[in-house]
Structure 1
Amino acid sequence: MSSERDTDRYRSFTRRMLVLGGLKVGLLSALAGRLYYLQVLQSAKYTMLAEENRISLRLIAPSRGPITDRFGVPLAMNQQNYRVVVVSERTKNIPETLDKISQVVPLTDGDRRRVMREMQRKRRFVPVTVRENLTWEQVATLEMNMPDLPGAAIDVGEIRYYPFAEATAHILGYVGAVAEAELNGDPVLSLPGFRIGKGGLEKFHEKNLRGTAGTSQLEVNAVGRVIRELSRDEGQPGREVQLTIDIGLQQFCQKRLSEEQSAACVVMDVHTGAIYALASHPTYDPNQFTMGISAELWEELLSNPTTPLTNKAVAGQYPPGSTFKPVVAMAALEAGVVGPKHTVHCPGWMELGDHRFHCWKKGGHGSVDMVSALRDSCDVYFYDLARRLGIDRIAEMAQRFGMGQAAGLDLPHERPGLIPTREWKKKALNATWTQGESLIASIGQGYVLSTPLQLATMTCRLANGGHAVRPHLTKQIKGVATETTNWPSLGVKKENLEVVMAGMNAVTNIQGGTAYKARITEPGFEMAGKTGSAQVRRITMAERSTGVKKNEQLPWRERDHALFVAFAPVHAPRYAIGLIVEHGGGGSTAAAPIARDILLETQKRDPGRAAVADAPEPKAPPPRG
């Protein structure tokens, strides 16, 4: 019995050993299989994950592309931006370090609160910016005192700088920090301190100027501290944008306009549409926006009644006044309703129904034909043309000459102006057009609105033989030309253009012309033009009976706008100008002399053919801080 029991125990033990041994073999096989799967079949995946845990890929902000004038003079450039930073793990007493820094670089209570707040949000080894845009003296002093500034260090970045400041503000705009609404998925926009174009050509050419971000591969430890840089790709800097602007002429225009309270002008090439100067006064310093403008200065700019932030050359919409008359004359000649010898007697007014429409000259101009009507700016003559033409034919010709529509300028915020029609009034005001409104429109008043850019474009198309040039500011982008000279014809007759140009020549070069006193007297540089004065207030019959107040008797806001358009030289037109002096009074006295000075300077500089050697040098950056 004992032997049988021993045999049963042995068999039971053997079965348990076999089961346990089988389980062990199974577990070892599973483990081996898993190891084979992880180390052989999935090795590439886990190698990559391990590398990602060890290597941190960080973006490097690209260098923003420069903007230059037509001769290569820098208008927007990058300069080094020195800043002082603090790493909290390297100092035992952050407030004490900030106190010592403030002895060299003034710090406000707001600066201190910001630094402490950022240090609480970031890891202790991440540097926090204390102040940017340090001067050379501040950098040198801080470097000398680094042993006494635990945790502090000097870092170097880039900042946008505009060497001609106010002279180019309305053309270039400025750069600023990326707003939340401007984030579009491009990771470079999320980089700390990254700035993008906020206005002007900085905004229009943002994609060209921004460039492509680079990358830096950094080896980091388990908590993310950088151990060393493994590789670096600097990316692609932004592309250079070269403008048609002549910065020397631009400065001249800005300075000349600054003698008035508010004014704007555009100087163009009549054949190519290149803009050589585009000035708006008053202006501002775009460098103040680069690092973030103060609330006080921003409020001051916004509350200024002369609107320095508005580019009046492209966004200011004004009644063109009598500068609109050449378009009305072209409409009448092209429609065949009158010929150049058509004569009208001007007693100083015209009656239409029970309304009397006055000429600017109280006693009238007597008998005038088209050339003399343009020379004297006779309102009654153009009332007569408007009565024969109707508003729709006037509007069609105005649109052909670039008015009442945006030109598609390579600059944001261009406004279209307004050329009214019967259909427009019905849709916009649900009212019927009246013949009296056509008379008012014929002298550039009523609903008619234009910009200085449109006035310059209109003048170019008159002076170049009737070709539809379009204004533009960009000459080339990194060596690739963007200009064209192949402009379509407007389909107007040469002989009709010559009549209108003869009238504009008489304005400035025939005694009695409204701008004869403002003519260019230097031989070979003579200009032809057209004056304009646009009322901004209604003159009542009672005031007319007692005597209309002169502009100098009125508050500035109630004075007429002064306008002038011109081209030069007379016998071989090359340059054109559209100019307004807000509330300047008469076009002949306020606007024409400024346009004369600018057109004379333009011809002497001759930017269309001038050599690079004539270009001015940019100003050196001012001391920073």
Structure 2
Amino acid sequence: MKRAPKDQDRSHRVLSRRALLLGGVQLGFAGGLAARMQYLQVDQADEFRLLAEENRVNFELLPPARGRIFDRNGKVIAQNSPSYRIVIVPENSDDVEVAISRLRKLIDIPDEDIEKAMVDIKNSRPFHRITLSDQVAWEDIAKVAANAPALPGISPEVGLTRIYPQNADFAHVVGYVGPVSDYDLSKMENPDPILLTPRFQFGKVGFEAKLEEQLRGKAGTKQVEVNAYGRIMRELGRREGEAGGDMQLTLDADLQAYTQARLGNESASAVVIDCETGDLRAISSSPSFDPNLFVRGISGPDYRSLTSDPYRPLANKTVQGTYPPGSTFKMIVALAALEEGIVGTEDTVWCPGHLEVSGRRFHCWKRAGHGHVNLNESLKGSCDVYYYDLAIKVGIEKISAMARRFGLGIRHDLPMSAVASGLAPDKEWKKQSYDQDWLVGDTVNASIGQGYMLASPMQLAVMTARLATGRSVTPRLLKSIDGVEQPSGAGESLGMNENILRVVRRGMYSVSNERRGTGYGSRIVSEDMRMAGKTGTSQVRNITAAERAAGVIRNEDLPWERRDHALFVSFAPYDNPKFAISVVVEHGGGGSKAAAPIARDILLQALYGGTPPLEAYPKADRSRIKALQERLQREQEKAHQSSLKDQA
């Protein structure tokens, strides 16, 4: 039946509206798709291209070669040695534990190494390279390379590790590197990304730590393409980093080795300084330790043996240790009095063996006293009473000011750890530190380098160099960086009257070269090498009145830790000072017996640039010195062979 035209028109209108609506929806959907495609393919093309690249491209940091360290003559003190190791990148391995298990079937890896690696994996980002085994033999490297398809994420590589060819000789100066710890990172605001690499070697103490940034260099980057399993397919690009700067120290490796050997098994220290330039030629603290033990992490037993040793091998006694300077301080008191015009060179003081001050008796080391002594004789015989009297007249303010002028009581800026400032006390210091007034007895104690007075062996060497030259000689350890010479430590004039300095130097000459001088037994007999020196003994215990009445107990009869410290300072040649030295032997007893012979032998070694002729020593000592030289030479040769063996 035919529909009425009116119904047909109504149906057509309904269908047209529906078609239009459907067409609009389809058009809108198509437009949405087009817009989305434009957003994804055009507007966000760069971002998604980057995401796609990150799926197949990895970026790796390339550790820079650490700068080397040399002595003044080019002998290597610290260098880098190739080291084969096995590493894993966790994000490139489907199952880390399975991969490691397969690896251990191929090569032997200690449980503790695996445990440490698992801790590193847990605490590091998945793209970091984690060391599974270090110092791996070439045969094991070949096994891992041959089985690479079965070890996803694991690969062998060649890295660099720090070694110290001179072993213990420079341990306290150069220090050592070790793996970066969380504590190290906590002290940095924005750590270098390369430091986040597990087991990356970082300067821990000493010169290695103080010049860490210059020695470390800058890391490079490597861009590699990997497949779906994380296997490296090819290298796409590389930007090499910058190697760390090569450092040259002012130290002489041969003199340093001799000094370390000469100190022997004593708990002692010695510093040799060039009077002309301020260059430090030897800095030795005994006993020492092998810094190579710390590079990859020292074992518990080894570390405990170092920390439990009463001689404190880990402490750098040359700059960290501070001691009462004893009679080596008497030159400072003499200079203060001479500059103030308080004493003349021929003025005398009567020494009956003690001096009464404020109802207290201060004793001279010589119980019977020295009688009438002038300035020269007071230094020669080290009369305490002379300096008690002098210090009371001068006052502590002038004495402390003179001490600081000559390098005591101030911290010298050296790239070493724990450099102490020592102490040259005055009235204000005591008031601030103890809320007490300065007493005349404090001044008396200070006059012979006791009481609050403290100095390090480094400071005593600087003091002696300034005495010898009249200039503000400043210690210099760093000679050059990548061949660029660093500023000299020669210093300007101290502004001292040369006649005053000459008087004090003459007194030091008498100490070492006149028969009743306290250092005469350790003199140099070569006319052109004669030295000027001063002995010192600093007490570490109080001597009671009862003990004095009964007789002071000899150092040899006391326990080691209660014996006096022995000190000696000197410079040579007397007429043309080239080197100054300080030696401190902890609990060594008297300076003339324990410290002076060591200082004389080291000073001669420096002056002659090697083993000195026996004619430089007193005749009575030559057979003993010859035997000592031969023994030390054997020990140095043995140490050298051991070093070569370790490097091999």
Scaled by the length of structure 1, the TM-score of the pair is 0.91
Distance 2:47 2:278 in 1: 59
Kept in 1, the 8 Å contact 2:145–2:156? The answer is no
Deviation for aligned residue 1:276: 0.6
Closer, same or farther in 2 for the Cα pair 1:567/1:154, shift >3 Å?
same
Q: 1:109 to 1:22 in 2, by over 3 A?
A: closer
Cα distance per residue 1:134-157 (max 9 Å; x no partner): 4xxx43477479879975864321
Give the one of 25, 28, 31 matched to 2:27: 25
Query: Residue type matched to 2:240 in 1?
Result: E
Q: Distance in 1 between matches of 2:304 and 2:594?
A: 31
Contact in 2 for aligned 1:125/1:225 (Cα 8 Å): no
Change in Cα spacing, 1:148 to 1:326, as seen in structure 2 (3 Å) is: same
2:569 paired residue number:
565
TM-aligned CA deviation for residue 409 of structure 1: 1.6
- Pick closer, same or farther for the CA change 1:121–1:575 going to 2, 3 Å: closer
In structure 2, the residue matched to 1:404 is 409
Q: How many Å separate the matches in 2 of 1:123 and 1:178?
A: 15
Alpha-carbon distance between aligned partners in 1 of 2:407 and 2:307, rounded to the nearest angstrom: 31
2:134 aligns with one of 108, 132, 135: 132
Where does residue 481 of structure 1 map in the other structure? 485
Q: C-alpha separation between the residues in 1 aligned to 2:388 and 2:556?
A: 28
Distance 1:196-1:30 versus aligned 2 partners, 3 A rule: same
Q: Is the 2:329–2:447 Cα contact (8 Å) retained in structure 1?
A: yes
Following the alignment from structure 1 to structure 2, what is the Cα–Cα distance between the partners of residues 177 and 145?
Answer: 25
Deviation at 1:429, TM superposition (A): 1.2
Structure 1 Cα separation of the partners of residues 647 and 276 of structure 2: 43
2:182 alignment partner, one of 170, 180, 183: 180
Aligned to 2:246: 240
Aligned to 1:613: none
Match of 2:262 among 241, 256, 274: 256
- Distance verdict in 2 for CA 1:94–1:124, change over 3 Å: farther
Q: Is 2:366 the counterpart of 1:361?
A: yes
Provide the secondary structure at the position in 1 that maps to 2:528.
Answer: coil
Cα distance in structure 2, aligned partners of 1:314 and 1:121: 38
SS class of match (1:622): helix
Question: Is 1:536 aligned to 2:540, yes or no?
Answer: yes
Matches of 1:454 and 1:208, distance apart in 2:
27
Q: Which residue of 2 aligns with 1:82?
A: 84
Query: Residues of 1 paired with 2:216 and 2:507: CA distance?
Result: 49
- Residue 357 of structure 1 aligns with an amino acid whose one-letter code is F
SS of the residue 2:602 aligns to = helix
Query: Taking structure 1 as reference, are residues 245 and 231 closer, same or farther at Cα in structure 2, changes over 3 Å only?
Result: same
Aligned partner of 2:621 in structure 1 is: none
1:215 is matched with which residue? Answer: 221
The answer for unaligned runs of 5 or more in structure 2 is 612-636
1:159-170 matches, within 5 Å, as 159-170=161-172
Q: 1:508 aligns with which of 505, 512, 533?
A: 512
Give the SS at the match of 1:49: helix
Secondary structure of 2:404 counterpart: helix
- TM-superposed CA distance for 1:69, in Å, is 0.7
Identify unmatched segments of 5+ residues in structure 1: 608-615
CA-to-aligned-CA distance 1:105-127 (integer Å, 9 cap, x gap): xx544345556777899999998
Q: Secondary structure at the match of 1:538?
A: coil
Cα contact 2:566–2:588 (8 A) shared by 1: yes
Q: Distance in 1 between matches of 2:494 and 2:119?
A: 64
Give distance in 2, aligned partners of 1:117 and 1:354: 68
Looking at structure 1, the residues matched to 105 and 27 of structure 2 have their Cα atoms a distance apart, in angstroms, of 70
SS, match of residue 278 in structure 2: coil
Q: Which moved more, 1:165-174 or 1:29-38?
A: 29-38
Aligned counterparts of 1:485 and 1:394: Cα–Cα separation in 2: 25
Corresponding residue SS for 2:487: coil
Is the deviation greater in 108-117 or in 301-310? Answer: 108-117
Letter aligned with residue 208 of structure 1: Q
Q: Does 1:304 align with 2:309?
A: yes
CA offsets, 1:529-567, max 9 Å, x none? 100011111111111111111111111111111000001
Question: Pairwise CA RMSD of aligned residues?
Answer: 2.9
Structure 1 CA distance, aligned partners of 2:157 and 2:51? Answer: 32
Query: Structure 1, residues 24-74: CA drift from partner, whole Å, max 9, x if none?
Result: 223323333343344334433433333233322111111111011111211
Moved more, 38-47 or 568-577: 38-47
Cross-structure match for 1:547: 551
Q: Letter of the 1:287 partner, please give it.
A: N
Shift of 1:261: 2.3
C-alpha distance in 2 between matches for 1:392 and 1:145: 72
d(CA) in 2 for partners of 1:84, 1:595: 50
CA–CA separation in structure 2 for the residues paired with 1:339 and 1:5: 142
1:526 offset after TM fit, Å? 1.3
Q: 1:195 to 1:448 in 2, by over 3 A?
A: same
The range that moved more, 149-158 or 21-30, is 149-158
Moved more, 86-95 or 495-504: 86-95
Find the partner of 2:436 among 431, 435, 443.
Answer: 431
Equivalent position amino acid for 1:155 in 2: E
Q: How does 1:41-52 map to 2 (within 5 A)?
A: 41-52=43-54
Counterpart in the other structure of 2:16 = 14
Q: Are the counterparts in 2 of residues 404 and 418 from structure 1 also a CA contact under 8 Å?
A: yes
Instruction: Give CA deviations for 1:490-526 in whole Å, capped at 9, x if unaligned.
Output: 2211111111101111111122111011001123111
Give 1:352's aligned amino acid: V
Equivalent position to 2:455, from 450, 474, 484: 450
Q: Is the 8 A contact 2:144 2:156 kept in 1?
A: no
d(CA) in 1 for partners of 2:283, 2:502? 28
Partner secondary structure for residue 524 of structure 1? helix
Distance in 2 between the 1:81 and 1:443 partners?
Answer: 55
Report matched runs for 1:52-91 at 5 Å: 52-84=54-86
* Matched residue type, 2:400: A
Moved more, 414-423 or 14-23: 14-23
CA distance in 1 between counterparts of 2:96 and 2:383 reads 81
Equivalent in 317, 337, 342 of residue 337 of structure 1:
342
Match of 2:237 in 1: 231
Distance in 1, matches of 2:138 and 2:53, equals: 39
Aligned residue number for residue 210 of structure 2: 204
Counterpart for residue 517 of structure 1? 521
Offset from partner CA, 1:428-472 (integer Å, 9 cap, x none) = 11111111221111000111111000000100111112x112112
**Which residues of 2 match residues 85-100 of structure 1 at below 5 A?**
98=104
Residue equivalent to 2:584: 580
- Say if 1:527 and 1:401 are closer, same or farther in 2 by CA, change over 3 A: same
CA distance in 2, matches of 1:332, 1:377: 16
Contact (CA 8 Å) 1:89, 1:125: kept in 2 or not? no
Amino acid corresponding to residue 561 of structure 1 in structure 2:
H
Question: Which of residues 391, 394, 415 in structure 2 aligns to 1:389?
Answer: 394
| Residue aligning to 2:593 | 589
**Cα distance in 1 between the residues matched to 2:218 and 2:144:** 38
Label 1:38 to 1:442 Cα distance change in 2 as closer, same or farther (>3 A). same
Partner of 1:314, secondary structure, is coil
2:161 alignment partner, SS class: strand
CA contact (8 A) 2:64 2:217 kept: yes
Measured in 2, the distance between the counterparts of 1:145 and 1:228 equals 19
- Alpha-carbon distance, 1:272 to partner: 1.7
CA shift, 1:481, in A, is 1.7
Retained in 1: the 8 A contact 2:474–2:489? no
Matches of 1:91 and 1:148 in 2, distance apart?
Answer: 17
The 3-state SS of whatever aligns with 1:351 is strand
Q: Taking structure 1 as reference, are residues 81 and 421 closer, same or farther at Cα in structure 2, changes over 3 Å only?
A: same
Greater mean alpha carbon deviation, residues 381-390 or residues 23-32: 23-32
Structure-2 separation of matches of 1:221 and 1:154: 18
Between stretches 143-152 and 348-357, larger displacement belongs to: 143-152
Q: Which amino acid aligns with 2:180?
A: V
Change (3 A) 1:127 1:493: closer
**Structure 1 counterpart of 2:358, one-letter code:** G
Match of 1:290 among 279, 287, 295: 295
Larger mean CA deviation between 22-31 and 272-281 belongs to 22-31
Q: Paired residue for 1:36?
A: 38
